[in-house]
Amino acid sequence: MVERRETCSLATVRRVAAMLDIDPDTVAADDALPRGWQFVLLGADTRRSALRSDGFPGLGIPMPDLGLPRLMLAGRSVSFHADIPIGASVRRASAMQSLRHKASAAGPMAVVTLVDELHVDGHDSAAIVETRTYLLMSASKAKPYCEPRKALAGSTRLTSSTRFLPPKAPAQRTSRTESEHLGQPSVPI
């Protein structure tokens, strides 16, 4: 289990509100953190040199190297037991609930389930429990739909003078417009 101390800071919650196009002035210290916004308390503090090859900061807990470079979120559930006041100090406890190895047609894979509990200081029971399940998969052996060089063979090279629309042909009138039917002169648009 990994434990971290977090602060549900007003500044961070205001930034999330702004990101969601909600007036940041509508949130204040001691208000309840809106449901679903607990992600601000679950962020990783992974050093850049320790990022996964795909840029993901990792799962936040020590885990053996399984040799499975691809990662996909497979499921997530959240249980809300109490509110987290904005400005509160929070203890985050993270643990691996399960790790199962599986075989698939695409190769070996693992199913990892993690649990994060958020405890407001002064309370023994968790305010929020979030469970996430990830699939870790082997490197893809799939080939691209088409070879890039073959896809470009015979295509037109685009330059700054390339026109994307065909040139306008001279207008030829083959029928009368509605205004001409009504005896009014037509006006070009």
Return the pLDDT at 80. 96
Report pTM: 0.69
Mean local confidence (pLDDT), 37-60: 82
pLDDT one-digit tens code per residue, 79-109: 999 999 999 999 999 999 999 999 888 889 9
* Contact of 115 with 97, CB cutoff 8 Å: yes
Evaluate if residue 151 carries a pLDDT over 70. Answer: no
Evaluate if residue 182 carries a pLDDT over 80. Answer: no
Q: Compute the distance between CA of residue 56 and CA of residue 47 in angstroms, rounded to an integer.
A: 11
Return the pLDDT at 115. 96
**Burial of residue 88 (number of CB atoms within 10 Å: 0-12, 13-18, 19+):** buried
Quick one: pLDDT band at residue 167, thresholds 50, 70, 90?
low
Distances (CA, A) of 109 to 60, 69, 158: 20, 10, 43
Beta bridge partners of 124: none
Q: Compute the distance between CA of residue 61 and CA of residue 1 in angstroms, rounded to an integer.
A: 7
